[in-house]
Amino acid sequence: MAEAWGKQYLGDKWNVYSAGIEAHGVNPNAIKAMNEVNIDITNQTSDIIDANILNSADLVVTLCSHADSVCPSTPTHVNRVHWGFDDPAGKEWSEFQRVRDEIGERIKRFSKTGE
């Protein structure tokens, strides 16, 4: 969901890419949640982060509540920030909607303020 919001709000200024420490495929509920806001993520992939991704990044944003502590080390030239969001996987449908909206608002704010 974050990759899609990032591309929507930052795509003209940033090359947005999403990867994580595990790959489980795109959650069908994430697809459904993003469809509710007219964003299609059916062609997105679930990728594992690697050194090439980290070395080519200017900014790494960790999202899940525990991701900041388990994300691989980032090179010194990379700015790394943590925006902690709940992981809605395995939870009620309303959690997907809530987290979708929280991520969208956070990325929208970043697009306006850089923070």
Q: What CATH number corresponds to the domain at position 30?
A: 3.40.50.2300
Tell me which residue range forms the domain holding 7. 2-113
- The per-residue pLDDT for range 36-95, each reduced to its tens digit, is 999 999 999 989 988 898 899 999 998 876 666 666 678 889 998 999 899 999 999 999
* Predicted confidence band of residue 22 (pLDDT cuts 50, 70, 90): confident
pTM of this structure:
0.89
Higher per-residue pLDDT: 74 or 28? 28
- CB-count exposure of residue 42 (10 Å: 0-12, 13-18, 19+): exposed
**Overall average pLDDT of the 92-105 stretch:** 97
Residues 6 or more apart from 4 whose CB is under 8 A from it? 34, 39, 41, 44
Q: pLDDT at residue 111 above 90? A: yes
pLDDT reported for residue 67: 62
Number of domains composing the chain:
1
Q: pLDDT at residue 103 above 90? A: yes
